[in-house]
Amino acid sequence: MRTYNGLTHLLRHTDADLTAGQSHVARLLGLHAAPPGAMWELSLYAGGVGISDKLALAVPAAAVDLAALARHLRLRSVAAFDDPDELAWLVGKDEDQPIDEAVAAFLTAERREFQPTPGPEVWFAAESDVNHWEAVWVADGLVAFLLFDQG
């Protein structure tokens, strides 16, 4: 249960106590425990204006079943996204800009320093929009995950 106290709670993989962060990571990935080598930054806010969560995660690719993760998060490739116009608006695509280029620029701007630069394999949660989106990509031996939720 969330506490609507107007405070932002930050959890990082560099914290002295990793328990809460590992729990969130495991839940996000649909696992029983956070994979070894997981790196994360979770910013969780709940207050009078609602919630505002920003989550960044990177885990070794060998520690993740990508097909299971795709099912758990209901991921769609950029090419197979249910509403291409919604995705284009979300990532700020210019009219004559290729969608892959816009997605890469968007994720590069949003990612944390411990996450790799996005490669060609990128997926978004099927219901992603400007108020809630989830993105996953694989690069440099890592599976990277970003989530933004506001409401």
Contact 46, 2 (CB under 8 A): yes
pLDDT band (50, 70, 90) for residue 82: confident
In a domain, 145, yes or no: yes
Residue 68 pLDDT grade (very low, low, confident, very high; cuts 50, 70, 90): very high
pLDDT at 12: 97
Task: Provide the percentage of residues in the chain whose pLDDT is more than 70.
Answer: 99
| Full residue range of the structural domain in which residue 43 is found | 7-150
Domain contains 1: no
Cα–Cα dist 126/65, whole Å: 19
Question: In 3D, which of 67, 12, 73, 65 has the Cα closest to residue 38?
Answer: 12
Given pLDDT bands bounded at 50, 70 and 90, which one contains residue 3?
confident
Q: Is position 49 within any domain?
A: yes
- Residue 111 binned pLDDT confidence (cut-offs 50, 70, 90): very high
Q: What is the pLDDT of residues 40-62, one digit of tens each?
A: 999 999 998 889 999 999 999 99
How far is residue 34's CA from residue 43's CA, in Å, rounded to a whole number? 17
Q: Is residue 146 part of a domain?
A: yes
pLDDT at 53: 93
Label residue 120 by pLDDT band (50, 70, 90). confident
Q: How many structural domains is the chain composed of?
A: 1
Q: Is there a domain that residue 12 lies in?
A: yes
Token representation of residue 109: 């701007």
- Give the separation between CA 13 and CA 89, rounded to whole angstroms: 32
In this structure, what are the phi and psi dihedrals at residue 142, rounded to the nearest 5 degrees? -125, 150
Residue 2 located in a structural domain: no
